[in-house]
Structure 1
Amino acid sequence: MNDRLLYPPAPRPDQALVQLPPLALYVHIPWCVRKCPYCDFNSHTASPVLPEEEYIDALLADLDQDLRAVYGRPLSSIFFGGGTPSLFSAAALGRLLAGVEQRIAFAPDIEITLEANPGTFEQDKFVAYRKLGINRLSIGIQSFQPQKLEALGRIHTGDEALRAAEMARRAGFDNFNLDLMHGLPDQSLEEALDDLRQAIALAPTHLSWYQLTLEPNTVFWNQPPVLPEDDILWDIQEAGQALLAEHGFGQYEVSAYARPGKAARHNLNYWSFGDFIGIGAGAHGKLSHPDGRIVRTWKTRLPKDYLNPAKPFKAGEKALTADELPFEFLMNALRLTQGVDAGLFAQRTGLSLQSLATARAGAEQKGLLQVEPTRLVATARGQLFLNDLLQYFLV
């Protein structure tokens, strides 16, 4: 029997979770023009002709296998990540979106985000994306400086990055994020702030501003570049946060800053332990079931295997145990600068808030968690030492 025709078992009808979380969809497009030396995502260098039609067919078949677990629940957001999703044509993404909507209802105010690389911007293509209902872009700038872009292995220039934001606006996107890194090889404080000033001048509604880190299984991990000293990194962080606040960007997550009302709803759903279906090569998902099970899934990683009809889409799954849930919930929620309502813990995990009492008291005594009965929120120190804070909630 073809594994791709098998459905997962329907959840049992008892209501261990009284209310299920919002539901999102993550779609992974795994191809890039060129793999960046710092990137540890599941991305692969694209061939001259992408298998668009075959991949869309596979994505919809993959989605079909998750439908029973989400029956009757509308999608609050969709996120196309990668890789470089903007390598795909509007026709291909339109066919996918139509197929998804046939299977799962869209919330009336659904947020649909597409990641895009400035080196793949074409005005007509992005006008067509907007007409499909894609209403938010996340543009991977990283830097505007030629030498930094070259060091990062990016395929675009600073001028292309500037033009990309303008083209996005002309295409009808009034809600877009710019992705920007700091702590780049040999970067000075002034260079980092120059990048940030240029990004702010493009009037995005959202900025993802984060420090370059060296990750295993990357070129930079094996051949590390010379990065700024810790004192310079700290100065960049402090000065950059002050500059963003001065220009009306509120920090709501460790590396996310937004204009009022423009926080990324898809990402907020992640951080508040919401549910998401993950389809595509290497995509991860997390789904809550009415019987109380919370299951994480991951899909076949290599595109050639994902496109092979003889192989299953799902590479594995894990039901979270009651002991694992506090850490799983809090490693997401405590990334939010304002934390979450304390009652959300019981709502999303099915566990009593009292089960956190001992660990919570220990973290509060160390000054890592705020003494705030109605919220779970890290202190400023806890945000800086988040791994230390989370250790209190490991069993």
Structure 2
Amino acid sequence: MIPIKPVSTIAPSRTTFAAHDREDGPAQAALAFLKPGSLSLSSLPPLSLYVHFPWCVKKCPYCDFNSHEVKDGFPEELYLAALRSDLEMALPLIWGRKINTIFIGGGTPSLLSAAGLDRLLSDVRTLLPLDTEAEITLEANPGTFEAEKFKAYRASGINRLSIGIQSFNSTHLQALGRIHDGDQAQRAVEIAQTHFDNFNLDLMYALPGQSLAQAREDLERAMAYAPPHLSLYHLTLEPNTLFAKYPPQVPDDDASAEMQDMIAEATAAAGYGHYEVSAYAKAGRQSRHNMNYWQFGDYLGIGAGAHSKLSFPHRIVRQMRYKHPQTYLDQVQAGRPVQEEAEITRSELGFEFMLNALRLTDGFAPNLFAERTGMPLNAIQEILNLVENRGLLFRDHQVIRPTVLGSRFLNDLQEMFLT
């Protein structure tokens, strides 16, 4: 049998995953019958735009995102010009398709000036057809909050903020290497409330030295502001981070599980629906951008290190831009911002789809698989039977979703779809 570990041992990620190679006997055997060949998508999925801003004030010791410390400022004008050029070069791949959501992430994109952000959104509107009700999210960190700047952000078209609070406890924030303290975290939420009716608060738990009572206090303080959306992440020590090299003392698995149980009870009591591994929302306030990821929709990523997943009638491709900011600027100027591009093969699609869709608590409609992959669901029938027989998956004619056991051991359930 494939060894099973609780999902709590691996932190939920804010990004989508790419398929990777792994030797896994049962999963390989179950999908060995897949035959190569072109796909057949009856329609293209919804399309989102992701814009990456690669700079931050300070690199956090737990962060494995493509972010680089600001040293003597950053080239705002050059980077904005590069983003426009990058987008212009990508237009033939998405010609005529409407953008449903935009997410500006980082790094710390709230380091952008009000004029800079206005220029970025103006360029996007000039080049792309936007849905009239497009969700436009900006990631922001408390150490960058200025009331007038965020008022200007709202006027430019940002209609949702995602605020990296992480904790309201100054001691824990210091242990995480954050540049803000508890008072600044509180002030950031107050500014967000003043100018935005739709915002998300990011919190982390299982922090170095954190007790169950402290985790509960953080959550209660966050919910006291009545945010429409909460993202609650288990701290993990990711490879190639400072925390991986010098691991701090963090709560053990039992303590972490108690925190997860507390979060489930407290959020439900406060009216938050747990709709994805790490996401909780009031009714109708789910993140539309992230839902597009989890439902295997398309996204164009521009900016240093940004990833794209784009569908065509008979193929699906992934792209990655050059990661280092200066390299990205140079390559855009040379007319080749894409460092890597690869077609997702038929044998990878089952895993790619399930890696995303199984994160949704309520699962997905069976016909979504064919709509988004161009393959019939019976292409993965054997592995579906296998995981269903192990009690990890529930399915009928209306829905496919993880069971309670499957949600607890989600990482292993997803990996069973590897080829």
Q: For the superposition of Structure 1 and Structure 2, which TM-score range results when normalised by the shorter chain?
A: over 0.9
* Contact residue 23 and residue 76 of structure 1 kept, 8 A: yes
Which of 315, 319, 322 aligns to 1:297? It is 319
Deviations 1:300-321 (A, max 9, x none): 0000111112473111011000
Aligned length: 380
Q: Distance in 2 between matches of 1:59 and 1:176?
A: 25
Say whether residues 1:121 and 2:165 are aligned partners. no
Q: Distance in 2 between matches of 1:169 and 1:141?
A: 14
Deviations 1:80-112 (A, max 9, x none): 000000000121111111111111100010000
Question: Cα RMSD between the aligned structures?
Answer: 1.2
Say whether residues 1:360 and 2:384 are aligned partners. yes
How far the C-alpha of 1:230 sits from its partner, in A, is 1.1
2:163 corresponds in structure 1 to 139
Q: Which runs of 5+ in 1 are unaligned?
A: 1-13
* Contact residue 305 and residue 311 of structure 1 kept, 8 A: no
1:184 corresponds in structure 2 to 207
Deviations 1:243-278 (A, max 9, x none): 011001110000000000000000000000000000
Q: Distance in 1 between matches of 2:401 and 2:83?
A: 37
Q: Distance in 2 between matches of 1:200 and 1:390?
A: 31
For residue 149 of structure 1, what is the amino acid of its counterpart? L
For residue 110 of structure 2, what is the amino acid of its counterpart? S
2:251 corresponds in structure 1 to 228
SS in 1 for 2:250: coil
SS in 2 for 1:66: helix
SS in 1 for 2:392: coil
Deviations 1:147-206 (A, max 9, x none): 1000000001111111111111222x0000000000000111001000000000111110
Q: Distance in 2 between matches of 1:89 and 1:372?
A: 51
Which of 202, 206, 224 aligns to 1:201? It is 224
After superposing the two structures, state which structure 1 stretch, 99-108 or 369-378, moved more. 369-378
Which of 310, 321, 328 aligns to 1:287? It is 310
1:276 corresponds in structure 2 to 299
SS in 2 for 1:307: helix
Which of 348, 361, 386 aligns to 1:337? It is 361
SS in 1 for 2:133: strand
Relative contact order higher in (CA < 8 Å, ≥ 6 apart): 2
TM-score by length of 1: 0.94
Q: Distance in 1 between matches of 2:323 and 2:395?
A: 42
How far the C-alpha of 1:371 sits from its partner, in A, is 3.3
1:215 corresponds in structure 2 to 238
SS in 2 for 1:339: coil
Say whether residues 1:314 and 2:338 are aligned partners. yes
For residue 187 of structure 1, what is the amino acid of its counterpart? Q
Say whether residues 1:24 and 2:28 are aligned partners. no
2:124 corresponds in structure 1 to 100
For residue 351 of structure 2, what is the amino acid of its counterpart? F
Deviations 1:40-93 (A, max 9, x none): 000000123221110011011111121111111110000000000000012111
* Contact residue 39 and residue 375 of structure 2 kept, 8 A: no
Say whether residues 1:86 and 2:110 are aligned partners. yes
How far the C-alpha of 1:15 sits from its partner, in A, is 9.5
Identity %: 54
For residue 51 of structure 2, what is the amino acid of its counterpart? V
Deviations 1:102-140 (A, max 9, x none): 111000100000000001000000000000110000000
Q: Which runs of 5+ in 2 are unaligned?
A: 1-37
Q: Distance in 1 between matches of 2:342 and 2:253?
A: 38
SS in 2 for 1:65: helix
